[in-house]
Structure 1
């Protein structure tokens, strides 16, 4: 084991050697450990540290624990830390600073996992294995991709193995939020060869023509290690996407590992075999299992594209470019050469036929209220969908992504844009493994298509359906199928006169019978610390959750359903006095795209206050961000901001209601 630090920390990293050339040294070592100590000693006569050691090989092994104590020098030395000085002193002295130990390393062996869909098909699932002391297997400190040290689970396909010793184990299997977790308690005995796991699916959106995608995941940066490789390969990413039951994962190359990860861009969707990275390194670490194909591998696709994050324009919001044919901005060699504001990048993406929008839309846009919509102008001090309010009226932005943090921070800009008639889309994303480490698909988007998104043009088929047909986004624990106005699921409706319209849909959700137990101190209650999770919609200790019909950003009808996996048919009438947009939601879990109803040929102009808020927000955005725009680009940016302000004022004057 080459180093171990606090595994509860988001910044935890395994301290592996910096190159694959260290394989021989790893192969010849049975153990090398590094114990992270506190900053200072307590002053007690004896201090205890409990260390869990895992050996690649079984049998009797000897080792030594080397100790040194660092003293703060007076005056402080700037050239070397106290720890470095203490280590150097210990190496020069004849005195022994190590204690020898004899270890009895218990044997383990490969246990095969026969994990299957309810209909018996083979598949990949997230498998969590804990022993009777709560320890995870494989050891998080010993993992290499595709097994990630920041997960408790690993992704295994039918017939693949996990190495376990004799003993009692709790095994949990799940394949994303469309499945109930399955728990199996197993006694691994001398004759145990396999563990059978049958998954428990409670909803099948694809069976109704809705296909899931996560438009924002990463193969490098954040919790991914940068050594022994710069991030992970498509073979690892596809395993994670398959293990979460996603049909499509958009792997976005961004600042960290950018120049290395660019090699995987092809301009097409791919579905590679889930092979192991770097077999020599895997074997040196004792990982000798063989990947296995499954019956449903073809259902999951990857598409490599770009997130403009860690670039000169990132202050204006992180841009997602979906469906590029060329990932290199014209005239650039390095990241630093790219534009220092986003509009030129958005237009460049559109010129290739890409769908362009903004990531983690709510970051920095919280204004201290849960009201939706609210009219407090934010300070735009972070990396949410800042410049979208400039790009949308200029026809240069298609969507924003969320389902990660508080709904009021994420949805407010969206609701205001919809209220003045813009057709901006909203998508669910994860930003894996940056905002969430759990896995791809913590936030996800479902799109209704006539057939599964497959082949090299899978992403294009999915985004075309997203633009034209019914879709919804959220955490995957609740779903809204076939949302329609007057029987039509199309995004646009027209009627001659004001009056009632009929809203229909099928709504389904699943929660356990009761709330989960309180979390351990300092740990989040659910996978999303502040974001979207159906558990937060639970009414008291019941199993019911509220469904709301939203008219022009305001919930006008509310009712409750039981979240037990039973489908609930929605059928109600709502009167429309003017052109409007309508949506359904369960916050914070699911939200449909809106349906626009235009009456008498008049466009949707639902709120003067929304138009004024957008106008004022452009002013606030310029104040916050203009100083980061290069002098050579600032005149063009000022003109674009002024054009956006003028567009909002024009729509404000067209609005029929405050």
Structure 2
């Protein structure tokens, strides 16, 4: 990979004296992280040099790192002992892109130890439109002659002060900041820059100013032809990088539907983008069911066009299995922060289509709730384009009962809990929220189930304290009998709610909880509580989610549920398929299709197989998986609490391209068959002796998992003593963490709810 920026080899800066290695090199690591995040990484050789210097951590290391960083500095700022700010040109060659952003470094020699903000301004970078024009994105241009005329100010600029960078100077005598520059135009353009650390700090005699003549490279229009595997127009993902590894279009000033926290963009057939002259690596894909295509694209002096067609390795929808992600957000977390109110339905619909995700549940939650709530209609959004269906629903998160566990409420008729028009009046007991949702026929389940359910050793100081991401589990065994801390925002109160029947829309009792969310938290933490409650005789199903863009911001649909439907796909029908358990969850890289036990099909007639006496049951499934030929040990060997939590790589056998398909009886793996993860679908058969009532399921660990089929021998219920004891102890542990979070007016309800759970578990233990 070539360097980040073209350089002037003849310009060099004197190494700074007296630089303390440790803080300087720590700041250098932040520069590496920041430039990578901004899509403008250092070259591979430069990163090796910088990381070697960081490891070396001495005066010689500082000089090595400084040599690399100085080569990327467009400006050299000196703050004198009197806090006067002066600036000179740095070594980097001044090149910009038409309609694009570039990042450069600013070297700061801070002789005064100032800790204020370093500000930059330019008369060429003030308002880019004449006075009276409407506010627009800096890269926007008038679409017709009636719009405001563009002024002579062609530049936009800003200092990058977001994490991992600091908003102010550190006070060290040498550090580097990042400046971001945008050019509206192509050609030669001159700009004057001035720096200061507050009014009155500018040096005298124009020494705080310097002029730069930029070569603004012209951008060419690239017209796109994008089609699916059948040759029909579609939306898909493009990841575009130049030879230096810079991402195009620049991430920093992206506007919806492109997200600034994504390197990729989503474009449709007939759309276009602009790229400066150069050579680009383009990766084209459409979700995990497609085969990525990488190609070289050369832009040279004229507008051009590019055609892309999706290639698949599998299409579950052809067999009636429809993908969906029941947990997506249009605001908060990695999205735009206040005062922006997030993004709108067309943007989220585009991302779903670009990832070939058929169902997208766009959940309004705490951030921007009062703005986003206007889009709820109680039906599929008008931006839906069959078979891509988007609908607004609610996650109870950031308000109400969220401290006892976040809740996904799908298929709501009304989104607002009675008694108010915002978030302040919602119940603090999950069960009270569930009662309201179930009365209107909603599909309900805890979000990001594993949070707070990590198995910790009894003497672990983290027990009873706030969960810390990435914590090592005491065990990855499934099922295990360690009582988790129940101190998070996952399926904690579920241990109580699963025992409750509540009033449904027709007045008849229905389970308070329909499903547990899978795929976006560590799989052993999610699955363990589910296995135990299934072993206690409950029939909660599972569904797949991403919690985009909070737990995972990379793309929607990283966690999916595939639902089998006999009739036309609708959002409501898909939700009812989750309720019936006619689904499997997956990271999209493996699939377990058409699971049957004897003649009983998953999700049909209660998924129940009845046997008059012990017998051997024939289990069948169509299994397929696709692994990279090259192993990724950084994923395979990562602890359960480290991302990616679910990934087919974790199931890889050694360095082969094989993975095991496991048959579970009451959560215990009793048989397994190995398949090649080469994308081919294979018919598998298991013959399993059944001695007592149990549930059966199939999994490819940390990649895909079916819902259960329940086998009842002589009409006896499913009861596992150890699991019931685990559940009973867990109720008490959960109460120790959640009692203090319940509002006083609901305390009596909470005491009753928890005591009901204890009673149910004790009764089942006595059976």
Q: TM-score range by the shorter chain?
A: 0.7 to 0.9
SS of residue paired to 1:195? strand
Are 1:137 and 1:162, in contact at CA under 8 Å, matched by a contact in 2? no
How many residues were matched structurally? 594
Residue 600 (structure 1) aligned with residue 714 (structure 2): yes
Deviations 1:66-95 (A, max 9, x none): 333xxxxxxxxxxxxxxxxx3123269776
State the superposition RMSD in angstroms: 2.6
After TM superposition, list the pairs within 5 Å mapping 1:222-371 onto structure 2. Answer: 222-226=333-337, 229-272=340-383, 297-367=385-455, 368-371=474-477
SS of residue paired to 1:140? coil
**2:609 aligned residue (488, 493, 507):** 493
**2:750 aligned residue (610, 626, 637):** 637
Are 2:695 and 2:708, in contact at CA under 8 Å, matched by a contact in 1? yes
Structure 1 pair 381/326, CA: closer, same or farther in 2 (3 Å)? same
Pairwise CA distance, 1:452: 3.6
Question: What's 1:411 paired with?
Answer: 527
**1:615 aligned residue (723, 728, 731):** 728
Q: What is the rounded CA distance, in whole Å, between the counterparts of 1:60 and 1:248 in structure 2?
A: 49
Deviations 1:538-589 (A, max 9, x none): 1122110111101001001122110001111111210111110000000110
**2:566 aligned residue (418, 431, 450):** 450
Are 1:248 and 1:301, in contact at CA under 8 Å, matched by a contact in 2? yes
Q: Return the index of the structure with the highest Cα Rg.
A: 2
Structure 1 pair 50/338, CA: closer, same or farther in 2 (3 Å)? closer
Deviations 1:275-310 (A, max 9, x none): xxxxxxxxxxxxxxxxxxxxxx42101110000000
Q: What is the rounded CA distance, in whole Å, between the counterparts of 2:248 and 2:568 in structure 1?
A: 35
Question: What's 2:78 paired with?
Answer: none
Q: What is the rounded CA distance, in whole Å, between the counterparts of 2:536 and 2:138 in structure 1?
A: 64
Quick check: 535-544 or 585-594, which moved more?
535-544
Q: What is the rounded CA distance, in whole Å, between the counterparts of 2:222 and 2:171 in structure 1?
A: 42
Pairwise CA distance, 1:378: 1.3
**1:151 aligned residue (235, 257, 262):** 262
Structure 1 pair 573/405, CA: closer, same or farther in 2 (3 Å)? same
Q: What is the rounded CA distance, in whole Å, between the counterparts of 2:233 and 2:551 in structure 1?
A: 31
Structure 1 pair 8/335, CA: closer, same or farther in 2 (3 Å)? farther
SS of residue paired to 1:207? helix
Taking structure 1 as the reference length, the TM-score comes to 0.86
Q: What is the rounded CA distance, in whole Å, between the counterparts of 1:25 and 1:404 in structure 2?
A: 36
Question: What's 2:195 paired with?
Answer: 67
Pairwise CA distance, 1:602: 1.2
Pairwise CA distance, 1:459: 1.9
Residue 40 (structure 1) aligned with residue 152 (structure 2): no
Structure 1 pair 571/121, CA: closer, same or farther in 2 (3 Å)? same
Residue 462 (structure 1) aligned with residue 574 (structure 2): yes
Deviations 1:443-492 (A, max 9, x none): 00000001341xxxx22111222233531002010001110000321311
Are 2:280 and 2:297, in contact at CA under 8 Å, matched by a contact in 1? yes
Deviations 1:208-247 (A, max 9, x none): 0000010000001011103563000001010001011011
Question: What's 1:421 paired with?
Answer: 537
Question: What's 2:55 paired with?
Answer: none
Question: What's 1:540 paired with?
Answer: 654
Residue 185 (structure 1) aligned with residue 273 (structure 2): no
Question: What's 2:595 paired with?
Answer: 483
Question: What's 1:73 paired with?
Answer: none
SS of residue paired to 1:401? strand
Taking structure 2 as the reference length, the TM-score comes to 0.74
Residue 388 (structure 1) aligned with residue 494 (structure 2): yes
SS of residue paired to 1:337? coil
Residue 514 (structure 1) aligned with residue 630 (structure 2): yes
Structure 1 pair 163/157, CA: closer, same or farther in 2 (3 Å)? same
Q: Which runs of 5+ in 2 are unaligned?
A: 1-30, 39-102, 104-118, 120-126, 128-132, 140-149, 456-473, 502-511
Pairwise CA distance, 1:24: 8.7
Q: What is the rounded CA distance, in whole Å, between the counterparts of 1:321 and 1:42 in structure 2?
A: 51
Residue 625 (structure 1) aligned with residue 738 (structure 2): yes
Q: What is the rounded CA distance, in whole Å, between the counterparts of 1:442 and 1:547 in structure 2?
A: 21
Q: What is the rounded CA distance, in whole Å, between the counterparts of 1:335 and 1:382 in structure 2?
A: 21
SS of residue paired to 2:424? helix
Are 1:448 and 1:469, in contact at CA under 8 Å, matched by a contact in 2? no
**2:279 aligned residue (148, 151, 168):** 168
Pairwise CA distance, 1:617: 0.7
Deviations 1:90-132 (A, max 9, x none): 2697764232211111110220121221221111111101111
Are 1:271 and 1:298, in contact at CA under 8 Å, matched by a contact in 2? no
Residue 555 (structure 1) aligned with residue 686 (structure 2): no
Q: What is the rounded CA distance, in whole Å, between the counterparts of 2:649 and 2:683 in structure 1?
A: 22
Deviations 1:393-437 (A, max 9, x none): 102111111202221111111000100111101111000000011
After TM superposition, list the pairs within 5 Å mapping 1:32-181 onto structure 2. Answer: 32-36=157-161, 39-40=169-170, 43=173, 53-68=181-196, 86-90=197-201, 96-181=207-292
Structure 1 pair 480/447, CA: closer, same or farther in 2 (3 Å)? same
Pairwise CA distance, 1:329: 0.4
